[in-house]
Amino acid sequence: MSLARRLLLAAAQSHFLRERAPRYRFVRRTVARFMPGEALDDALQAARQLADQGLASVFTHLGENLATASEAEQVTQHYLRVLEAIAVERLPTEISVKLTQLGLDLDAELCYRNLARLLGQVAPDATLWIDMEASSYVDATLTLFCRALAAAPRRARPRVGICLQAYLYRTAADLEALLPLGPAVRLVKGAYREPATVAMPRKRDVDENFFRLTGRLWSPEARQSGVHAAIATHDRALIARIEALARERGVPPSAFEFQMLYGIQRTEQRRLAGSGWRSAVLIAYGSFWYPWFMRRLAERPANLGFVVRNLFN
């Protein structure tokens, strides 16, 4: 892991910086490059503009590790309003939630009840994505995901998807356990600060594992079970390899999608959509953006250039 990435991930966990960094205008200007605003209306406006370009979207309301059941209730109510707004406007938009937002740190049953309420409002042709957090949450997250997946008859249930992180050594085994269930899987590289015993420290190893896992998502067994894959990376070289693999194996566009963050690789997002692939943009919004923003910088330290330019503008 590079020094810049280590420093950025450490900064993401700093309560001191979390309190102070948002006060600086140059930081807020930089954040605006990666999120359309803090309010739901900002996210909806961005989703409308993306839809006009043939791009789908995924909303995530920033926040994690809530302290009370009432906070989890507020987040649940917020996402219910989001789902209602998406349905009213008929936007090609889905939601992605962190289970710690729904009360996982407080009580797993409380968290599951909140998750089930959201699933009850998801459109039949849409996916509710469960985000993956730090490695200490993987087991609990997978348990609740599998429970949600099995909660209704296969043909009747709304689709629920899970995020898997390619930098974790355990992910290949986790994927093998999930494949017979026919899940929706969003594959990401991973953005949390993890020890080298848990996560691959070298970028090239993570990239290769990401490519291998993508191939497994498109294996005959996975396709037969109905797996839907979301390939979430901004790495154009890796995307090119994955496009070639999809064509080589005859994977139809309906079986997967590419996902990227708002404000990153915009030209590539449009190119993928123009090439016939489904392309979705993750739109983050909300006031609790500092740790999320630092993890985004850690994923691609070259983005620090945006920070420096805004400092001197």
Dump pLDDT digits (tens) for 254-284.
Answer: 889 999 999 888 999 999 999 999 999 999 9
**Rounded percentage of the chain residues whose pLDDT exceeds 70:** 79
The H or E element containing residue 247 is: helix 236-249
Contact 179, 224 (CB under 8 A): no
Residues acting as catalytic residues: 131, 186
Mean pLDDT score, 75-89? 97
pLDDT band at 15 (very low <50, low <70, confident <90, very high): low
The tokens for 118 are: 């959201």
Q: Is the pLDDT of residue 37 over 90?
A: no
pLDDT at 180: 93
CB 263 within 8 A of CB 1: no
Query: Taking the model in full, what pTM does it have?
Result: 0.86
Select 36-288's CATH number: 3.20.20.220, 3.60.21.10, 3.40.50.620, 3.40.630.10: 3.20.20.220
Is 91 a residue whose pLDDT tops 80? Answer: yes
**Rounded alpha-carbon distances, angstroms, from residue 12 to 193, 288, 290, 292, 304:** 9, 12, 7, 7, 14
CA dist 101 and 145 (Å) reads: 15
The label of the residue with tokens 């700093």 reads 14
Q: Would you kindly state where each structural domain of the chain is located, as residue ranges?
A: 36-288
Cβ atoms of 93 and 60 closer than 8 Å = no
* Average pLDDT of the residues of the chain: 87
| Per-residue model confidence (pLDDT) at position 14 | 58
Q: Of 111-125, 150-164, 185-199, 231-245, where does mean pLDDT reach its minimum?
A: 150-164
